[in-house]
A and B are shown apart, each in its own frame.
Chain A
């Protein structure tokens, strides 16, 4: 028996106002694997990622997290809010715009969900949060509020916040696209560390070199269809389609 996939997407389709944004997308992410989703703007990368945790509801297809279907309960009915929240807690998401909660300090951003979703005591949650803030290099800023932080610092806190729920899979949607160039490195560094620690990750990015370095699998979306799915060395050195070749020439002329 093969291991249960961390994420398994089967025949996913999604339309917005009659326009098909994802078409029959299937993808498996194995535990410990890092999968990068590439594609030009508007190709459906964010939508695919947001379907995985049901921030967008697919029209067709099914998505399983470690074998359990998200969004639809066993009886075939839509999941209750509580069930859905339980499934989402198993997925960590990092957004392009950080989306920190501005009324909470760095530490409280990280402990909020462990305390109020998982029911951890404050002491336990603080301990877990401090270890994670240490990991992302933000421990000394624990009492500060988000508005005092740089973009790179905010994103590192957002990563710690997601990790604090001990998710099975981390989803990143262009985590460095909103950052000044000199701050990109510190965030990519954290993500790279996570990949070394064996975290399962799905990453939407425009950082080609980075995708090449951390990924086990690269997926290329074109107008909502996966037109290539391969190992990064294969993808970057030997793309199968002209579409990807052109994309790589535009995005990463140096590679």
Chain B
């Protein structure tokens, strides 16, 4: 592989990284919000969110990507490929994250809540200062796991023409007629991205050890 092939590869890796990164960032926060709304058990909304989560978790990413990209124009919305990809990845990862956050909520100790309310915290202060820091740490392994699933699933956005780290290997081998080197190189880059995540997770787990009661 020559330097222009490497250049293309890095560009593809960058596309994978930023599209996944934005989806992950939105997905983690949206997942938290949806989990909060679900825990509040607001009648109709609760069921609607439940349906969304089941659907989003059951739908293959490729299907979701195509669905978003093809239905948006019929509703008069003009989506560029990247945005359609981000929306699809976000819808997918949000659903998984919402379940991770929700189980952390449900397992959180009632005692700590009572101590917080008894001392004069409003439920909001309690959530922000006591609950959120702890459930963030306990949810992190699950969230990071979901992040690496998303990154590994992200080649699905190639079906609508986004040139990501996987798709770019096609382009390179179309010129070089030697598909193996670019695919190996792409695999190494995926591994680098994932191991960065795992390293971040280790860091967080070290902090989490003190939560052991």
Residues of A within 8 A of B (CB): 53, 55, 81-82, 85-86, 88-93, 95, 97, 99-103, 112-113, 116-118, 145-147, 158, 161-162, 165
Contacts and interface: CB of A to CB of B under 8 A. Distances in A.
Given A102-B213, A103-B134, A103-B211, A55 B119 contact: no
B161 interface: no
Contact of B122 (A81, A145, A162): A81
B134 A102 contact: yes
Given A99-B112, A100-B115, A103-B134, A113 B211 contact: no
Given A112-B129, A147-B213, A99 B117 contact: no
Contacts of A86: 120
Contacts of A116: 121, 125, 129
A99 B114 contact: yes
Contacts of A93: 115, 118-119
Given A97-B111, A116-B125, A116-B129, A102 B210 contact: yes
B210 A85 contact: no
The 5 closest A-B pairs by CB, nearest first: A89-B120, A99-B115, A93-B118, A99-B111, A113-B119
Interface SS of B by simple majority: helix
Nearest to A109: B115
Contacts of A85: 117, 120-122, 125
- In this complex, the member of B115, B117, B122, B134 whose beta carbon has the largest number of chain A beta carbons within 10 angstroms is B115
28 contacts: A53-B118, A55-B118, A85-B121, A88-B118, A88-B119, A89-B119, A90-B120, A91-B118, A93-B115, A95-B114, A99-B112, A101-B112, A101-B115, A101-B116, A102-B112, A103-B134, A112-B130, A113-B121, A116-B121, A116-B129, A117-B119, A118-B120, A146-B213, A147-B212, A147-B213, A158-B115, A162-B119, A165-B119
Contacts of B115: 93, 95, 99-101, 158
B21 to A, nearest CB: 27
Interface in B106-159: 111-112, 114-125, 129-130, 133-134, 137
A82 B126 CA distance: 12
Nearest to B136: A103
B120 A165 contact: yes
A243 to B, nearest CB: 31
A158 B115 CA distance: 9
Given A93-B119, A95-B114, A165-B120, 4 more contacts: A85-B122, A112-B129, A117-B121, A147-B213
Nearest to A102: B211
B210 A161 contact: no
A173 B130 CA distance: 22
Given A85-B120, A93-B118, A117-B121, A103 B137 contact: yes
Contacts of A100: 115
A55 B134 CA distance: 23
A116 B137 CA distance: 21
Contacts of A55: 114, 117-118
A100 B213 CA distance: 10
Contacts of B125: 85, 116-117
Contacts of B212: 102, 147
Q: Which of A55, A113, A161 has the most C-beta atoms of chain B within 10 angstroms of its own C-beta?
A: A113
A99 B116 CA distance: 9
A103 B210 contact: yes
Nearest to B129: A116
Contacts of B137: 103
Nearest to A55: B114
B123 A81 contact: yes
